[in-house]
Amino acid sequence: MTTQKMAEKADEAVAKKPAKSSGEKEGKKTDRKARGKAASARSRSEYQQRKRRLGQRGEDAACDFMVKHDMKILDRNWRCSYGEADVIALDGRTLVFCEVKTRIGTRYGKPSEAVTQKKLERYWKLINVYRSRNAIRHSSVRLDLISILVDEASEKARLHYLRDIYANC
């Protein structure tokens, strides 16, 4: 057999045998990585769901508090390009925008510490959009904060109400 024929047979043998991809070479490692990424995505999704449920519970508690204090809830989770107002209520003739911050524990600080000056400035833009879309001109406006701290062990919550936070900055 000539060298040329031997080379041709070797080429044919290589062509018949499927090439292994890098994933097949790693075998189980690739499968573990894929499962790990899927599990990580699930855990992120579960985390987001828990976070949303906690926020929802906090907003429900805030609305209950406001109603008990003779405020009428007008809107919840109202959105525009500047963000979201958690609760919009009427306190007598005053339009009240209430930011609700709920946390479990203080590992990342108190709930009220999450409201920055930048967020307050954006909130006032949001308030102006709400007033213009709803043709509200003559009522006074107030920005309140309800911070709720949930104790992990007992699951009891402590609600702290700050009235007119913009005036207190």
The per-residue pLDDT for 32 is: 57
What domain range is 71 assigned to? Answer: 24-162
- The CATH number of whichever domain residue 146 belongs to comes to 3.40.1350.10
Say if 17 falls within a structural domain.
Answer: no
| Distances, alpha carbon 50 to alpha carbons 34, 40, 96, in Å | 24, 15, 28
- The whole-angstrom separation of Cα 3 and Cα 42 is 57
Number of domains in the chain: 1
The verdict on residue 109 lying in a domain is: yes
Whole-angstrom Cα distance, residue 103 to residue 162?
16
Asked if pLDDT for residue 1 goes beyond 70, the answer is no
Provide the mean pLDDT of the chain.
81
Q: How far apart are CA 20 and CA 27, in angstroms?
A: 10
- Phi/psi region, residue 62 (left: phi>0; alpha: psi -120 to 50; beta: rest), is alpha
Is the pTM above the cut of 0.95? no
